[in-house]
Amino acid sequence: MSISRRQLLMGGAGLAGLAGLGAGVGQWLQRPSLDPRYAYQLSAAPLDLQLVPGFITQALGYGGQAPGQLLRAKQGERLRVRFTNQLEQATTIHWHGIRLPIEMDGVPYVSQLPMLPGETFDYDFVVPDAGSYWYHPHKASGEQLGRGLVGPLIVDEAEPTEFQHERVLVLKNWHIDEQGAFTDFSVPREAARGGTRGRLSTVNGQHLPSIDLPAGEIVRLRVLNLDNTVTYRLKLAGAESRIYALDGNPIVPVPFKEYWLGPGMRIDLAVRVPQNGAAVVLRDGLFRLADFVVHGSSTALVQAPWPRALPANPVAEPDLQRAERLTFNFEWVGGLSKSAGKTGDFSFWQVNGVAWDGNDRSCLDRPAARLRLGQSYIFEMRNLSQYQHPIHIHGMTFKVLSSNRKAITPYFTDTYLLGRNESAKVALVADNPGLWMFHCHVIDHMETGLMTAIEVA
């Protein structure tokens, strides 16, 4: 790790000073020639939303929106975000799926100190991989993500692709009642099961929106599940479509029928938009999420061919022959471990027999594994419970190899939806030094124990 935990704790003020006032800012102010397309000033602040007609929901937003402002970066280039915390509580930004230096990963006490109200931090890193990513706090996650602090981050391919049209769809269920007031983000009896679900489903912050699509064209549909809890059983009715990427990483395109998109996961589809009048609907199982409205009319006499596959990201190929093997058991520990209090006081879940406690910083000294820089590893991930867990790693991308439940065509990802009682093997090269969080992305599972850290040094 480039910043040890000890340095971080002892020299906290120094680190904040370095990040906030040091080299980064100087460069920023003195070199206005840096590409302005990929530089943002972003803040997190309270935001009144009208999710239920006639009622105000006191949400939180990035850049005055919830879901947050869409950020774009170009593969191989720097993304710079000067971020100001205008909340009444501490926060950070984590860049989900981006392979970046640990100092930019947004985990409190690992990457940076929690940003207090009024503080500014410059996030500045190169984005090595193209695809659909997102950003969110890594502090008081149940509440902060639940109230709207989730935003899409799109990294454009270094070379142009054959896609001419794009739509970004952010899925989120809001934990609100009929009057738009927030309900509990985490209820112990739900946290101990599948997680606490919100009531109102939205796409881009609207319940059942109508989204325009150009007739006869092929559109890249980026669907991001930025919900705390829900796994969507995605289907698209009324149009032919193919999967081009999973969690940012390209695959060899295959026809799209149905896909279980867990919290934190993303899917890029190519949709062949029919001619005017056709009904195209995005569904979660039997439920409608969004209607597409086909506009214009195509002049093309012949159907356009499907776009070429997207170029692979530069992720290191694990050496399976020499890989070391590690096992991670994700299990339910049963019962309420304490008799009263908020969800944060409970632990229902464990990774390899240990429940992570977000309030106990000494957990950071006990990573579940210590990996050697440059070495390949195969993780056997075993779900010993009856609920599914989208297992996510920070800082690196792993390759899904196999599962005892289904046939897998190996692919790279940062989040794997581990089904009930499923065991899956994933592999990675430990090529990014740091202390990386490894957790379930059902937020109340994560906050009741289902998190650990993996050290690479």
Which residues are at the interface with ligand C2O (CB under 6 A)? Answer: 94, 96, 136, 138, 264, 392, 394, 437, 439, 441
Choose between 38 and 436: whose C-beta lies nearer to ligand C2O: 436
Binding to Cu ion in span 332-371, by CB under 5 A: none
Retrieve residue 153's tokens.
């981050």
Closest residue to ligand C2O, based on beta-carbon distance: 96
Determine which helix (DSSP H) or strand (DSSP E) holds 219, and give its type and residue range. strand 218-225
Could you give the angle at the alpha carbon of 247 between the alpha carbons of 363 and 381, nearest 5°?
45
Choose between 136 and 235: whose C-beta lies nearer to ligand C2O: 136
Q: Please give the Cα distance from 222 to 219 (Å, whole number).
A: 9
Q: How far is the CB of 449 from Cu ion (least distance, A)?
A: 10
Q: How far is the CB of 248 from ligand C2O (least distance, A)?
A: 12
Q: How far is the CB of 313 from Cu ion (least distance, A)?
A: 16
Q: Which does 389 bind (CB under 5 to 8 A by kind): Cu ion, ligand C2O, none?
A: Cu ion
> Which residue type, as a one-letter code, is found at position 198?
G
Length, in residues, of the chain: 457
* C-alpha distances in Å from residue 40, one per residue of 36, 70, 374: 8, 10, 33
Q: Please give the Cα distance from 62 to 46 (Å, whole number).
A: 9
Reported in sequence order, the residue ranges of 119-186 that DSSP labels E, i.e. its strands, are: 120-126, 131-136, 151-156, 165-174
Contact 238, 280 (CB under 8 A): yes
Selected binder of Cu ion within 389, 399, 425, 439 (CB under 5 A): 389
Core vs surface per residue 121-143: b (16+ CB within 10 A) or e: bbbbbebbbbbbbbbbbbbbbbb
Choose between 138 and 242: whose C-beta lies nearer to ligand C2O: 138
Q: How far apart are the first and last CA of the chain?
A: 6
Q: How far is the CB of 432 from ligand C2O (least distance, A)?
A: 15
Asked if 127 touches Cu ion (CB under 5 A), the answer is: no
Choose between 242 and 441: whose C-beta lies nearer to ligand C2O: 441
Choose between 219 and 396: whose C-beta lies nearer to ligand C2O: 396
Q: Which does 264 bind (CB under 5 to 8 A by kind): ligand C2O, Cu ion, none?
A: ligand C2O
Determine which helix (DSSP H) or strand (DSSP E) holds 14, and give its type and residue range. helix 12-21
Choose between 268 and 414: whose C-beta lies nearer to Cu ion: 414
What are phi and psi for residue 17, nearest 5 degrees?
A: -60, -45
Asked if 96 touches Cu ion (CB under 5 A), the answer is: yes
Q: Which does 147 bind (CB under 5 to 8 A by kind): ligand C2O, Cu ion, none?
A: none
Choose between 80 and 96: whose C-beta lies nearer to Cu ion: 96
What are phi and psi for residue 65, nearest 5 degrees?
A: -140, 150
Q: Which does 235 bind (CB under 5 to 8 A by kind): ligand C2O, Cu ion, none?
A: none
Q: Which does 439 bind (CB under 5 to 8 A by kind): ligand C2O, Cu ion, none?
A: ligand C2O
Q: How far is the CB of 450 from Cu ion (least distance, A)?
A: 5
- Strand order across the 369-371 sheet: 369-371, 451-456, 434-440, 389-393, 415-418
Q: Which does 440 bind (CB under 5 to 8 A by kind): Cu ion, ligand C2O, none?
A: Cu ion
Q: Which does 442 bind (CB under 5 to 8 A by kind): ligand C2O, Cu ion, none?
A: Cu ion
Q: How far is the CB of 377 from Cu ion (least distance, A)?
A: 18
Asked if 394 touches Cu ion (CB under 5 A), the answer is: yes
Label the pairing between strands 200-203 and 259-261. Answer: unpaired
Choose between 68 and 180: whose C-beta lies nearer to ligand C2O: 68
Tell me, what DSSP letter sits at residue 91?
B
